[in-house]
Structures are given as C-alpha cells and as structure tokens.
Structure 1
Amino acid sequence: MSILAWIIASCIAGGTLSIVCATFFALGNRTQNYLSGMVSYAIGALLGAVFLNILPEAIHLAPNVAVLSGTVLFGILLFFILEKLVLWRHCHHEHCEAHVTHEPGHGFDNGRSGMLIIIGDTFHNFVDGIIIAAAFLTDVNLGIVAALAIIAHEIPQEVGDFAILLYSGYSKLRAFQLNLISSFSSVAGGILGYFTLQTMQSWIPTLLALAAASMIYIAVADLIPGLHKRAHLRDTLQQVVLIVLGVGTVWLMSVFMAE
C-alpha cells in the first residue's frame, strides 16, 4: 500500500468514524430536550480546542507570534462580517426573525452559527489532513498513531458541532451531511500535503489561526448570549458544569495525544 493511499484512507476513515460516533451520540430521540446542555458542552469543547490545542500548535509553528495574533483578530472581524452578510441576506427590515434572540433548544438563528462552524471546521480538518500526511511521510506507524489521535480528538468536537448545527436550525439529516462534507476537507489537505508539504507547512499557522478565530467568535458571540436567557442559579450551575466538562474532554484528549 503506497504512502498516498495510506494518507487518503486514513483521512476518509478518520472523518467518517468521528462523524458517525458523534452522530450516534447526538441523534437520540430526546435530542431537543437536552439541546441546551449540548450547546453548553459545545462552548466548552470549542474554547478548549482553541486554547488547549489549536492556538498552542499555531504559536509553536508560527515564525512571528504577533502576526499570528493579528490573524486571529482579523479572523474574528472576518466572521463578524460574514455573520452580518447572512443577516442582510435573510432580513431587510428591523423586525424580522433574524433580529429575534432565541434560547438554545427553543429556536433558531437562521443558520448563522451553523455556517460559521462549518467554515471553521473545514479549515481545521484541512490542517488535520496535512498533519496526517506529514506523519505518514515520516513513518507509516507514526501516521497510523497520528490518525487515531486525531479521530479521538475530533469526536467531542464533532458532538459540539452537531449541537450547534441543530441549534442553528438545521435538520438532523442536514447536520450530518454538512459535518460529513466538512470532514472530507482533510482528504484535500492530505493530498496537497503529500505533494507540496514544504509549501503547505508555511500556511499551517495561518489556517490554524483562522480556525481558532471562527471557534472563538461562535462561542462568545453566538452561543454564550443564548445561555444568559436562562438566568436561574440551577441553570447557570448546569451550564458551567457542562462548559467545564467540554473543556475537560478536550484536555483529556490532548493528554492522550501527547502520550
């Protein structure tokens, strides 16, 4: 089996397996009843992935940390503009549905956060493909280990992404389709990484910074404000616990990957 075949097979298997595992968890019959909790968990998973994995890796690879930080700031502004464009597309007057704030699990946000999470996830999966290619080009066994570690890391994030897509108003089937399509961007990253690895490596910090920016923006601008609609102490404690659980899950996966 050639190295390129190993890379493609690992990217396809990894993306499919992580999506299937996440969907199996998220597609329960009572999904709508605990969607608010899933969104809280998603916030923790997103922020954990950004600050425990993506940004540290980007800083490690970046030749200039100041430029990298500027890229994150640019990315946050970029996703703010993208969200505005989505709002303008759906609404041209002051009192339309796009201006109404909904609670998680009790309404939708016209696809805004769903669109942004797919864009950010595509960047992230693309970089994962490059990382898998680099590992296989070093050693096949290392490539297999790297692919397994990435799958383990992706499952909690994909559960969070699925919750965000449902929160954003997508059907369960459409959420599955979008996550699956986004996951296959790792195949493109793996193939390009195989043929032009030296060139692509210089782009990894920028791609990671943009992925981090999208996740920060979604968590802080789109999801956290919805949680404030449930201000009772019991709801707040539940939200905090689930956010910490999301961060903790990503941290455990990071420890596993480090080993």
Structure 2
Amino acid sequence: MTLISILVGTLVAGMGSVWLAALLAYALLSRFTQHLLSLAAGALLATAFTRLLPEAFEQAMQSGVSAQALFAALLVGLVFFFLLDKAELWHHGHEHGQDHDHSEHVHHTHDHHHSHSHQSGGWAVLLGDSVHAFGDGILIAAAFVADPRLGIAAALAVMAHEVPHHVGDLVVLRQTLNDPRAALFKLTLAGGVTAIGGVMGYLLVGALHEYLPFFLVVAASSFIYVALADLIPQLQKRLSPKETAAQVTWLFAGIALVAALGEWAQH
C-alpha cells in the first residue's frame, strides 16, 4: 500500500506539475506564476519546519539518534544542494518579471533559461529536470515511509514549487523543438522520472529504515534550500503596497495549506 501511495504521490508531483504548468503557460495565465512562487515558498518552508523536521526528530528519539547528528545532516544537506545548484542540476532558473503583458511576460521572465538553452539546447533542460525529478522522488518516498500524511504534504509541496519552474522549461523547449506537443510530451516524461526515484527511494529507505531520520532531514534541507536560495530571493523586489500584500498573502496561504492538510489528515 505504501508503494502505491508513493507512485501516486510522485506521479502527481512530477507529471501533474508539468500539466498544470502547461495550463498556465498555454492559457497565457503567466501572471499567476508570481503568486505560485509565494505559495510554493510558504508550502516548502512549512512542510520542512512543521512536518519533516519534527517527524525526523521523533523518529530519531525512537532510534537513539542524537540531535547533533540530525543538525549535522541538515547542514550537510544544505551544502550538498548548494553544490548541486552550482552544477546546474538542481537549479530552477525562475526569473519572473512583472512589467509585461501575459505572453511577453513568460518570454521575459526566463531570460536566464533562454540564454542557457541557446548554449546547450533543450536536452540540457530535460536532463536537469530528470535529475531533479529523481531526487524529488526519493525525498517523497522517505516522507511516505515515515507517515502517509507526511508523504502527501511533501508531494503537494514539490508540485507547488515545480509548477513555476516548468512554465519556464516549456517556453525554452517550445523554442528549441518548434513543436508545443513534443515539448509537453518530453517534459512530461522527465516529470515521470519522479516515480522512478520514488520506487528507488522506497527500496532504499525500506532497506535502511534505521536511517529514516536522516532521509527526512535531507528532504527538509532540500525544501529549505529551494525556498530560501531559489524562491524567496525572487520575491525580494521593490513592489507596490498592493503587490507586497498579495505576495505576503500567498506566502501565508502556502503555510496555511500545509497546516490545514495536517489537520485534515489527522481526522
């Protein structure tokens, strides 16, 4: 049953985020990607600090793992994801602007992706997405093994932060492939790698169950790194009071979503 839950969760997070991104990109609703950034940042931080880390420490108490060891794992995880980011294997490349119309907005907000695609083509985007999706699958699997409710929260948090990322990827792939359907199909396959990572994570965590607290801490470090190093910096711009209020509202909405999910799952 746990494996089935992992497969469903990883497919929703991996492939579902691609199709939701396609809806946003192709329907010219790109103005919502800024709100999704705020929502995703709140959801990731809330999942890490109110779900994953508390569960990791609870599991550690049962396994006799010290708090110092978990904090060390958290530090190592943050440095590890920083190094992956430097290698452009974990990088999301969200460059969202706010001063253009919907179609021009999508084009303008991913200048970094565009310049990178001209250098290395769409395959670089697909490779990076596949590596990232595989890692996400392992982290989601660790959460499901610890607690199905925790797994659901982790899968939804991953989906939330992947949607803005995939909007940019679709723009790049549509230019490099000159075929919107092929772009969506190939990016969907890359998202499906999340399920492969989920199966591998299930087997790995199952075989090394005593190390489950460390898997959960690494998952938390991934969420914290993406939120603080990737999403939050893009929200630190000079905005009007109305735009700032909307940004903060969506940030707290992400936190509230995780909290509400936790309450719902307990009933």
Same fold (TM over 0.5): yes
C-alpha distance in 2, partners of 1:126/1:52?
Answer: 18
CA 150–72 in structure 1, closer or farther in 2 if over 3 Å, else same:
closer
In structure 2, runs of 5+ residues without a counterpart are 98-105, 114-124, 174-182
Moved more, 224-233 or 164-173: 164-173
C-alpha distance in 1, partners of 2:8/2:85?
Answer: 32
Q: Which residue among 30, 33, 49 is the counterpart of 1:32?
A: 30
Q: Which residue among 70, 73, 78 is the counterpart of 1:71?
A: 73
CA 101–57 in structure 1, closer or farther in 2 if over 3 Å, else same:
closer
CA 43–117 in structure 1, closer or farther in 2 if over 3 Å, else same:
farther
Answer whether contact 1:26 1:159 (CA < 8 A) is retained: no
Q: Which residue among 225, 230, 233 is the counterpart of 1:225?
A: 233
Answer whether contact 1:42 1:163 (CA < 8 A) is retained: no
Q: After TM superposition, list the pairs within 5 Å mapping 1:151-230 onto structure 2.
A: 151=152, 154-167=155-168, 173=184, 174-192=186-204, 196=207, 200-230=208-238
Answer whether contact 1:79 1:214 (CA < 8 A) is retained: yes
How far 1:170 moved relative to its partner?
Answer: 6.2
Residue 127 of structure 1 is matched in structure 2 by 142
In structure 1, runs of 5+ residues without a counterpart are 1-5, 91-99, 133-145
Q: After TM superposition, list the pairs within 5 Å mapping 1:31-180 onto structure 2.
A: 31-62=29-60, 63-86=65-88, 102-103=95-96, 106-107=109-110, 109-110=112-113, 118=133, 121-131=136-146, 146=148, 150-151=151-152, 154-167=155-168, 173=184, 174-180=186-192
CA 257–82 in structure 1, closer or farther in 2 if over 3 Å, else same:
same
C-alpha distance in 2, partners of 1:191/1:166?
Answer: 32
CA 203–257 in structure 1, closer or farther in 2 if over 3 Å, else same:
same
Residue 245 of structure 1 is matched in structure 2 by 253
C-alpha distance in 2, partners of 1:23/1:151?
Answer: 18
How far 1:249 moved relative to its partner?
Answer: 0.6
SS at match of 1:86: coil
**CA-to-aligned-CA distance 1:199-244 (integer Å, 9 cap, x gap):** x222211111112112111111121111123522222111111111
**CA-to-aligned-CA distance 1:14-67 (integer Å, 9 cap, x gap):** 433455655554432134231111111111111111111111111111221111
Residue type at the aligned position of 2:142: V
C-alpha distance in 2, partners of 1:17/1:101?
Answer: 21
C-alpha distance in 1, partners of 2:264/2:239?
Answer: 36
Answer whether contact 1:22 1:156 (CA < 8 A) is retained: no
Number of residue pairs matched by the alignment: 225
Residue type at the aligned position of 2:165: I
- TM-score, with length taken from structure 2: 0.69
C-alpha distance in 1, partners of 2:10/2:94?
Answer: 33
Residue type at the aligned position of 2:95: H
